[in-house]
């Protein structure tokens, strides 16, 4: 382990590993298959990056998110470590260049999406590399029992058969007992494998759920009472901007973050927050992976995630320094309604998926039996309008097609503008002699875009505009003209997702889906949704409930959450008597779960109702039976 400690000191500046990291690193370096379950902030990336740097050769890293891959590659590059990422939407030249560097150069890490790993091109090139370790990030994605199942992860076992002597290290922050077993099975772990699991208990983190109709006002109240850095999680990209602006208008420094922002802007926003130049970062769930800021004092969710795995991972970004922090969920009936509505539309009939698939072929102008391996930028709203399909229905249908192995749908990531010259120098010279108004633009691109005759080169229209002192609109028109006249291949910047055809285009009527698997996934999604709602509405210790969900049974009450500290407003004796009377009447007529029961009372009485309900359950006036249905005893 002396070599591992030297690497840790050289690249991370630490003289010792965190708890359990040393054992995980030693296991990987000894050649054993290893599963590491570390809560958010536990330093998972170090557990495979240090062993890979200690050994000769390259580490293959399978990761599900393009934004995460880009961030990790950038972090390694900043440390002087050569690393690359391969993902959907890249052109063949860039793929060849990266793979060649990995075969012949000194590259230490190659990040791939699981879909890319399954391609013949990737497999053929990787088999020519000196691979020292295979790392599976977000390993829960391999399990149908998990909350973020990605079918392409199931191909990893077949891939590792081609490299039978290379150890695998799988890492995740959230996995139930079923998922832990499933990961080992689906990755074909060898008999001498090691599993390391750190307790998910966070003694310094207080879990709070507040029933609030006016969430924005309550958010301000929390930020004014709890000093220090904060992360606020919201539902979509538009809300990141709106909430950040709202905070700024109320004298709280804030920035916003989502996967669709240009990489430079994301990095600047992230860096400003880490350095304390802005206090609050408002983000979608794209934020946080691989980011280690120890002094976050509050993590506020304005919307309830659809699984406890997602909530636990995001909330766990608070208080990594060991000092007290708050994980606050602002909740109301609309959250419950939204989750149940999303659940219903997330599992449409197969006929709708076939309809979307047929329309995709027309949208991309693909012939039957064409398109295998090709990637296309996908404008969902334009597609929905053109083919008269309800927008909320499209993503669930794409997920069905992805799970069935027909297409891959990647998340939206900022793609900068690029050009590639399609003519040689002689024809280019002749062209700008005939088009003198474009001559300066062509010459500027030739000077600033080396290699543009051989492959796509990124450009920035704003810089071209500034240098040439021309309006941005004029630059765009010139580039479009060059593209239409086949002088350059010009791809404007976008933040669109990509659709990749894993198989050649099929006749939509002939598509085959696994109904049994689909029904299983639907059932598991409903289970996770109900557990998430139960967390928001429980009258039990919230920390204990989370630990129980992750199979840490019989945990003690935390003494810190809103339930344990009894923060609810006490009802007067008269109010208590009236509430008890109403609860008795309702439950004697119609036993139901706590969410349904609480929803029948005015929202301003919620805290009092929960307090009385807790008393009645503790004293067995009310009992919970199957499916958490409450009965008057």
Q: Give the pLDDT confidence of 425-446 residue by residue, as tens digits.
A: 899 999 989 999 999 999 999 8
User: pLDDT digit string (tens) for 517-529?
Assistant: 999 999 999 999 9
* Torsion from C-alpha of 303, 304, 305, 306, nearest 10 degrees: -130
Q: For position 216, what pLDDT does the model report?
A: 93
Collapsing DSSP states into helix, strand and coil, what is residue 397?
Answer: helix
Q: For position 151, what pLDDT does the model report?
A: 85
The pair phi, psi for residue 238, each rounded to 5°, is -60, -40
Task: At 425, list the tokens.
Answer: 């120098």
User: pLDDT digit string (tens) for 350-402?
Assistant: 999 999 999 999 999 999 999 988 888 898 889 999 999 999 899 999 999 99
Q: For position 59, what pLDDT does the model report?
A: 97
Alpha carbon distance 366, 133 (integer Å): 39
Pairing of strands 457-458, 418-421: antiparallel
Percent helix / strand / coil, the chain, rounded to 5: 50, 15, 35
Q: For position 77, what pLDDT does the model report?
A: 92
DSSP label of 138: T
Please say if the pLDDT value at position 567 is more than 80: no
Q: For position 3, what pLDDT does the model report?
A: 93
Name the H helices within 347-451.
350-363, 380-387, 391-403, 425-434, 436-448
CATH code of the domain made up of 2-197:
3.40.50.300
User: pLDDT digit string (tens) for 141-154?
Assistant: 999 887 888 888 98
Please say if the pLDDT value at position 183 is more than 90: yes
Task: At 455, list the tokens.
Answer: 């492959």
Q: For position 414, what pLDDT does the model report?
A: 66
CA-wise closest residue to 126 among 92, 154, 98: 98
Residue, of 39 and 129, whose pLDDT is higher: 129
Average pLDDT over residues 127-153: 91
14 HSE (CA, 13 A, CB side): 12
- Yes or no: say if 167 and 34 are a contact pair by the CB < 8 Å rule: yes
Pairing of strands 498-501, 630-632: unpaired
Q: For position 396, what pLDDT does the model report?
A: 94
Alpha carbon distance 414, 406 (integer Å): 24
Average the pLDDT over each of 53-62, 99-108, 448-457 and give the range with the smallest value.
448-457
- Yes or no: say if 376 and 408 are a contact pair by the CB < 8 Å rule: no
To the nearest whole number, what is the mean pLDDT of the chain? 90
Considering the four listed CATH numbers 3.40.50.2000, 3.10.20.90, 2.30.30.40, 1.10.10.10, the one that applies to the domain covering 340-414+496-513 is: 1.10.10.10
pLDDT-derived band at 290, boundaries 50, 70, 90: low
Domain residue extents for the chain: 2-197, 205-331+530-549, 340-414+496-513, 418-491, 568-632
Question: What's the CATH class of domain 205-331+530-549?
Answer: alpha beta
Residue, of 73 and 566, whose pLDDT is higher: 73
Share of the chain above pLDDT 70, in %: 97
CA 600 to chain CA centroid, Å, is: 35
CA-wise closest residue to 192 among 173, 175, 167, 161: 167
**Strand arrangement, sheet containing 498-501:** 375-377, 498-501, 407-409
Please say if the pLDDT value at position 470 is more than 80: yes
391-396: list long-range contacts, CB under 8 Å, 24+ apart. 392/345, 393/345, 393/348, 393/352, 393/356, 394/356, 396/345, 396/346, 396/347, 396/348
Residue, of 212 and 505, whose pLDDT is higher: 505
Q: For position 609, what pLDDT does the model report?
A: 85
* Torsion from C-alpha of 6, 11, 15, 18, nearest 10 degrees: -110
CA-wise closest residue to 530 among 138, 172, 147: 147
CA angle 539, 545, 551 (to 5 degrees): 160
Same fold, 205-331+530-549 and 340-414+496-513: no
């Amino acid at each position: 382990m002396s070599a591992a400690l030297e690497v840790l000191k050289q690249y991370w500046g630490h003289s010792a590993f965190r708890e359990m990291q040393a054992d995980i690193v030693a296991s990987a370096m000894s050649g054993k298959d290893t599963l590491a379950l570390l809560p958010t902030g536990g330093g998972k990336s170090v557990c495979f990056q240090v062993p890979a740097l200690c050994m000769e050769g390259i580490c293959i890293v399978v990761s599900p998110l393009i934004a995460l891959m880009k961030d990790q590659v950038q972090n390694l590059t900043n440390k002087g470590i050569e690393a690359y990422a391969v993902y959907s939407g890249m052109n063949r030249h860039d793929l060849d260049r990266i793979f060649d560097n990995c075969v012949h150069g000194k590259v230490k890490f190659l990040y791939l999406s699981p879909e890319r790993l399954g391609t013949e091109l990737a497999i053929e090139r990787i088999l020519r590399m000196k691979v020292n370790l295979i790392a599976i990030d977000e390993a829960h994605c391999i399990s149908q029992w998990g909350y973020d199942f990605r079918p392409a992860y199931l191909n990893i076992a077949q891939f590792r058969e081609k490299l039978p002597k290379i150890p695998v290290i799988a890492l995740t922050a959230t996995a139930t007992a079923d998922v832990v077993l499933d990961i080992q099975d689906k990755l074909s772990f060898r008999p001498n494998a090691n599993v390391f699991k750190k307790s998910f208990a966070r003694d310094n983190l207080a879990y709070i759920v507040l029933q609030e109709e006016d969430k924005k006002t309550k958010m301000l109240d929390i930020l004014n009472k709890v000093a220090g850095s904060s992360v606020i999680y919201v539902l979509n990209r538009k809300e990141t901007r709106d909430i950040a602006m709202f905070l700024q208008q109320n004298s709280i420094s804030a920035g916003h973050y989502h996967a669709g922002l240009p990489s430079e802007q994301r990095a600047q926003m992230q860096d400003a927050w880490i350095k304390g130049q802005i206090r609050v970062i408002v983000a979608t769930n794209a934020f946080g992976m691989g980011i280690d800021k120890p002094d976050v004092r509050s993590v506020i969710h304005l919307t309830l995630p659809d699984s406890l795995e997602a909530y636990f991972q995001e909330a766990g970004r608070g208080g990594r320094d060991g000092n007290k922090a708050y994980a606050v969920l602002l909740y109301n009936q609309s959250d419950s309604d939204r989750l149940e509505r999303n659940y219903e539309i997330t599992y449409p009939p197969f006929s709708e998926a076939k309809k979307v698939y047929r329309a995709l072929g027309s949208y991309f102008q693909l012939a039957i039996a064409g398109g295998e391996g090709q990637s296309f930028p996908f404008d969902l709203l334009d597609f929905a309008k053109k083919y008269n399909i309800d927008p909320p229905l499209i993503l669930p249908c794409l997920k069905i097609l992805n799970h069935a192995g027909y297409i891959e749908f990647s998340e939206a990531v900022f793609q900068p503008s690029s050009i590639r010259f399609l003519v040689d120098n002689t024809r280019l010279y002749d062209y700008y002699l005939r088009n003198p108004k474009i001559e300066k633009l062509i010459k500027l691109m030739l000077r600033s875009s080396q290699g543009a005759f051989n492959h796509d080169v990124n450009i920035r229209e704003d810089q071209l505009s500034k240098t040439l002192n021309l309006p941005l609109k004029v630059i765009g028109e010139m580039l479009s003209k060059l593209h239409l006249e086949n002088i350059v291949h010009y791809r404007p910047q976008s933040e669109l997702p990509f659709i990749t055809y894993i198989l050649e285009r099929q006749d939509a009527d002939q598509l085959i889906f696994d109904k049994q698997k689909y029904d299983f996934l639907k059932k598991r999604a409903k289970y996770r949704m109900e557990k998430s709602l139960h967390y928001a509405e429980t009258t039990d210790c919230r920390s204990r409930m989370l630990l129980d969900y992750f199979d840490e049974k019989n945990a003690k009450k935390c003494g810190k959450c809103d339930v344990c500290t009894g923060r609810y407003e006490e009802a007067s004796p008269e109010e208590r008597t009236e509430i008890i009377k109403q609860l008795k009447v309702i439950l004697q007529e119609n036993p139901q779960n706590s969410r349904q029961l609480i929803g029948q009372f005015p929202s301003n009485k919620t805290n009092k109702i929960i307090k009385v309900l807790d008393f009645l359950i503790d004293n067995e006036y009310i009992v919970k039976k199957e499916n958490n249905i409450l009965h008057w005893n």
